């Protein structure tokens, strides 16, 4: 069966450390993989997109890797801040839908303590 | 740029009534909009894809007669939950794709529906 798995347990880290979140998928062949941030009671906010032929993408303190062999993406936040506390969702853009449809993981909650 | 709004942000209604939720792209034209539903501590589940000027495409298991979607213009899509029941209580979120770009969806802030 098709699955997108993110760690359901909250990740607690100290301010200044690097947070690493994992997204694993099975029985999908995504063209793109995207990461979103969602705050409680709010819609997701787009962070980064990485294509299947890209290994790594960076944006300011954020870094995403994409390993299509392992079927895994890692999302890193360096020099984390309490304001980074939120739920982070990975989403796959499906090839057979014109890349438009997104399938979301359940998200991982990140808590950054001062 | 790429701001999407939703109205209302919260709505409480009685069982059996209908509720309309609006989704607007404020600073771009959204040829395609999507409607999602999210239950507590669960993932976003796609309900339907809405293209301007044509009928929406619903995901398997989503009742098209219950969740009416209209995408009358490039900046407005509406979702009407007809004859709402308590099990329809959820967080409804829309998103828009800017122009012909298929890469990124821009999400609205969501609408919390509570059916009593």
8 Å CB contact of A41 and B44:
no
pLDDT band at B85 (very low <50, low <70, confident <90, very high): very high
Nearest CB neighbour to B43, from listed A46, A49, A104:
A104
Q: Check whether A27 has a pLDDT greater than 60.
A: yes
Q: Residues near B41 by Cβ (< 8 Å), separated by ≥ 6?
A: A106
8 Å CB contact of B44 and A44:
yes
pLDDT band at B102 (very low <50, low <70, confident <90, very high): low
Q: Check whether A100 has a pLDDT greater than 80.
A: no
Between residues B54 and A59, which one has the greater pLDDT?
A: A59
Q: Check whether B80 has a pLDDT greater than 60.
A: yes
How much is the pLDDT for B100?
A: 61
Q: What is the nearest CA distance from A66 to chain B, expressed in angstroms?
A: 16
Long-range contacts of residues A49-57, Cβ cutoff 8 Å, at least 24 apart: A49/A93, A49/B103, A49/B104
How much is the pLDDT for B19?
A: 97
pLDDT digit string, tens, across residues A67-97: 999 999 999 999 999 999 999 999 998 776 6
How much is the pLDDT for B55?
A: 86
How much is the pLDDT for B72?
A: 82
Q: Check whether B99 has a pLDDT greater than 80.
A: no
* A90 in Cβ contact with A75 (< 8 Å): yes
Mean pLDDT, rounded, for A14-20: 97
Q: Which of B33-72 are b and which e, b meaning 16 or more Cβ less than 10 Å from the residue's Cβ?
A: bbbbbbeeeebbbbbbbbbbeeebebeeebeeeebbbebe
d(CA B56, CA B51): 6
| Chain A residues closer than 8 Å to B32 by CB | 100
8 Å CB contact of A104 and B49:
no
pLDDT digit string, tens, across residues B28-77: 888 889 999 999 888 899 999 988 888 899 999 999 999 999 988 889 99
Nearest CB neighbour to B102, from listed A42, A100, A103:
A100
| Chain A residues closer than 8 Å to B105 by CB | 46, 102
Q: What is the mean pLDDT of chain B?
A: 91
The closest of B53, B44, B35 to B95, measured between CA atoms, is B35
8 Å CB contact of B107 and A43:
yes
Q: Check whether A98 has a pLDDT greater than 70.
A: no
Print the SS3 string covering chain A: CCEEEECCCCEEEECCCCEEEEEEEECCCEEEEEEEEECCCCCCEEEEEEECCCCEEEECCEEEEEECCCCEEEEEECCCCHHHCEEEEEEEEEHHHCCCCEEECCCEEEEEEC
Residue in A closest to B6 by C-alpha: A43
Nearest CB neighbour to B110, from listed A42, A49, A99:
A42
């Amino acid at each position: 069966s098709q699955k997108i798995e993110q760690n359901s347990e909250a990740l607690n880290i100290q301010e200044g450390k690097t947070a690493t979140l994992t997204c694993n998928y099975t029985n999908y062949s995504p063209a793109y993989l995207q990461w979103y941030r969602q705050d409680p009671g709010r819609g997701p906010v787009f962070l980064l997109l990485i294509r299947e032929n890209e290994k790594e993408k960076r944006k300011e303190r954020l870094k995403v890797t994409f390993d299509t062999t392992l079927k895994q993406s890692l999302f890193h936040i360096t020099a984390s801040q309490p304001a980074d506390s939120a739920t982070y969702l990975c989403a796959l853009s499906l090839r057979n839908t014109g890349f438009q449809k997104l399938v979301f993981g359940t998200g991982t909650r990140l808590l950054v303590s001062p | 740029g790429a701001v999407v709004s939703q109205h209302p942000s919260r709505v409480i209604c009685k069982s059996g009534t209908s509720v309309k939720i609006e989704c607007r792209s404020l600073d771009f034209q959204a040829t395609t909009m999507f409607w999602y539903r999210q239950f507590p501590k669960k993932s976003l589940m796609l309900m339907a894809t809405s293209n301007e000027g044509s009928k929406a495409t619903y995901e398997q298991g989503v009742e098209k007669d219950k969740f009416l979607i209209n995408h009358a213009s490039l900046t407005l899509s509406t979702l009407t939950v007809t004859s709402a029941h308590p099990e329809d209580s959820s967080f409804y979120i829309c998103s828009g794709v800017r122009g012909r770009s298929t890469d990124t969806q821009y999400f609205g802030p969501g609408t919390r529906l509570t059916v009593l």
